[in-house]
Amino acid sequence: MKQIFAVFFITFACYALANAFFSPYCQENATCVRGCSWGLERGFNGVANRVLPGHDHRNLTVASPVLCGRECLIDDRCFSFHYSEGERRCELNGATASRYPMELIEMEGIFYYGPEEPKLVQLLASGNKTGIPSLTDCWYHTHASAASECRRTGQHLCLQWELDHASKEGYPTTPPSWYADPDSLAVLNETGVTYHDLPLTAPSPGLCCSLPMTYRDPVITPKSYELADRAGQARGCSDLAAHPCTLAELKEAYDHGYRSLYWGYLATPNRHAIVGCHHGDDCYQGTIANTPRPNERAQVYCCPNRT
């Protein structure tokens, strides 16, 4: 069925009871609400024949989706809504499809309207949701609070390789967001991922992931380790939901097109490797240069754990 997308904007003064939809945020140990301090102009992007079940908290009858959107904007619990033209039924939701992308389902005659960018709405409606991170509806001041919200739904703050994967899948631009590294924020867009070192004072949403894995490219630890520090090397990979790569895993990565010019440690003790064979080096199956004369300090090739 051909999908129909709609965009509309509602503009009105933000009263004391209204809360701004732009910047929902959570203080530590506080209920998530939407704080308001300015006039409001907010767009809702709609997709036909899609609903986000199980998150509605208020139902009413109104003449148009514009009026339904107005009701959402003045309800501090509302983050998205459904509208049925035939029944003039308005359902206010306490969550968004970008937070629960796997739960968005098809239902004839009902529009889902949310704050997501049109590209994300289209991606969600396409049915291809594999590897799509969920962006928390609330914005948090601390990494721990964002991580807790991800764990509440059986997810985790996205790892770097998961963000890279999402970017390749066409995930649209996000605000600076919490991810696995507690010392920086990530901005995800269709051309890659950029990172911003803390401190940043504004609250930020969290990017939550739960991507099942088959094959994924290796990742390299952000820090270097002493050659003898095998436990530290393993912990560095574990922080990335990974383990030090074996030569066979690096060969598999090479066969998938992965290349790296970094000399890094691997699972084999007292060796380091490059993913690519160079003349004169010891090479594993003609692909992975590795040598028993490693650097005294290096980063580690980590192969993501598979589920």
Residues 15 and 103 in one domain: yes
Q: What is the pLDDT of residue 211?
A: 59
Residues 118 and 12 in one domain: yes
Give the C-alpha separation, 169 to 182, whole Å: 25
Q: What is the DSSP letter of 190?
A: T
Residues 121 and 32 in one domain: yes
Q: Is the dihedral of CA 55, 60, 63, 69 positive or negative?
A: negative
Q: What is the pLDDT of residue 12?
A: 35
Q: What is the pLDDT of residue 152?
A: 83
- Please state, as a whole number, how many other Cβ atoms lie within 10 Å of the Cβ of residue 197: 9
- The answer as to whether 214 is a domain residue is no
Residues ≥6 apart with Cβ < 8 Å to 127: none
Residues 33 and 91 in one domain: yes
Give the residue from 181, 209, 237 where a domain finishes. Answer: 209
Residues 230 and 181 in one domain: no
Q: Which of 135, 143, 198, 200 has its CA nearest to residue 166?
A: 135
CATH code for the domain in which residue 265 is found: 3.10.100.10
Q: What is the pLDDT of residue 9?
A: 40
Give the C-alpha separation, 250 to 303, whole Å: 8
How many domains, in total, are found in the chain?
Answer: 3
Q: What is the pTM of this model?
A: 0.58
Residues 168 and 200 in one domain: yes
CATH code for the domain in which residue 55 is found: 3.50.4.10
Give the residue from 209, 228, 259 where a domain finishes. Answer: 209
Residues 17 and 107 in one domain: yes
Q: What is the DSSP letter of 26?
A: B
Per-residue pLDDT of the chain (307 residues; tens, 9 = 90+): 444 445 444 433 333 223 333 345 544 444 455 433 223 345 688 888 889 998 988 999 999 999 999 999 888 889 899 999 889 999 999 988 888 887 888 899 999 998 887 777 777 776 656 667 888 888 899 999 999 988 887 788 888 778 888 887 778 888 899 998 888 899 988 788 999 888 777 889 999 987 555 677 899 998 999 999 999 999 999 888 789 999 989 988 998 889 998 899 999 999 999 998 876 668 888 899 998 889 999 999 999 876 5
- The answer as to whether 113 is a domain residue is yes
Q: What is the pLDDT of residue 83?
A: 95
Residues 98 and 33 in one domain: yes
- The answer as to whether 155 is a domain residue is yes
Residues of the domain holding 145: 134-209
Q: Which of 272, 265, 270, 271 has its CA nearest to residue 244?
A: 265
Residues 157 and 264 in one domain: no
Q: Which of 113, 110, 25, 28 has its CA nearest to residue 73?
A: 113
- Residue type present at position 291: T
Q: What is the pLDDT of residue 138?
A: 86
Give the residue from 177, 209, 241 where a domain finishes. Answer: 209
Residues 64 and 116 in one domain: yes
Kindly report whether the peptide bond that precedes residue 133 is cis, defined as omega within 30 degrees of 0.
no
Residues 227 and 203 in one domain: no
Specify the DSSP element, H or E, that contains 56. strand 56-61
Residues 258 and 204 in one domain: no
